[in-house]
Amino acid sequence: MTPGDGWPVDPAMIAPFLAAMALVELTPGPNMVWLAVLTLAQGRASGLRAVAGVTLGLAIYMTAAAFGVGSAIAAAPGLYDLLRLAGVVYLLWLAIDAWRDADDEDVQPGATPFVRGLVANLLNPKAALFYVTLLPGFIDPARAPFRTQALMFGASHIVISVIVHAGIVFGAAHVATWLARGADAWRAVRLRRIAAVGIGLVAIWLWWETRR
């Protein structure tokens, strides 16, 4: 009997997968920049609501990939291009909105951060292709069905993404608290506007990076 017999996934793939997911999540991207900007502008509570929305978006794509829907999206050039364009336009809109609200201390979060996080992730073509292109390389067809392994690996990725995204929110909230003290308040506005420009640049980068 070989090590790992009876496991639904290959035990030798778990550590490499977790390491790969950590690197993916720690690489600067749309979610990371936007979460930081949102938290600087509206506080930790809004940032955590946005993390919940982003996480739901990831869960939807993970489930879609497990049931083969992700492959259909990747194989349909028209649908992929539409998703790509919508994602870029939405990021640009978020950048404009972040710039406009940079000096507004009375922004009410409500449910908006959750909805925006969800929509931003669903309109991210890289998220759509992630499970289609990367996940199959870690799956052993000799073990559990593809769907079972995809859901298990995908769930572990979501846990890592929550940890990383929550860390960004808490870090940005700490920075916002420091900047808001006394004479440093003006720095908070400047930093929010710089970050808003960052979201716009990420949108341009996303358009270039996801071309086919």
Task: Confirm whether 82 is domain-assigned.
Answer: yes
Residue-wise pLDDT for 85-112, tens only, equals: 887 888 888 888 777 776 665 554 445 8
Query: What pTM does this model have?
Result: 0.78
129, part of any domain: yes
pLDDT in tens, 111-130: 588 998 898 888 877 776 77
Residue with tokens 């990367």: 134
For the chain, how many structural domains are there in total? 1
Q: Decide: 121 and 53 in contact? Cβ < 8 Å.
A: yes
Which pair of structure tokens corresponds to residue 156?
Answer: 């572990």
From 159, 204, 155, select the one nearest 9 (Cα to Cα). 155
Three-class secondary structure of residue 180 per DSSP: coil
**Predicted confidence band at 53 (pLDDT cuts at 50, 70, 90)?**
very high
Q: Say whether pLDDT at 164 is over 60.
A: yes
First vs last Cα of the chain: how many Å apart? 45
205: containing domain: 29-209
83 within domain boundaries: yes
Whether residue 65 is contained in a domain is answered as yes
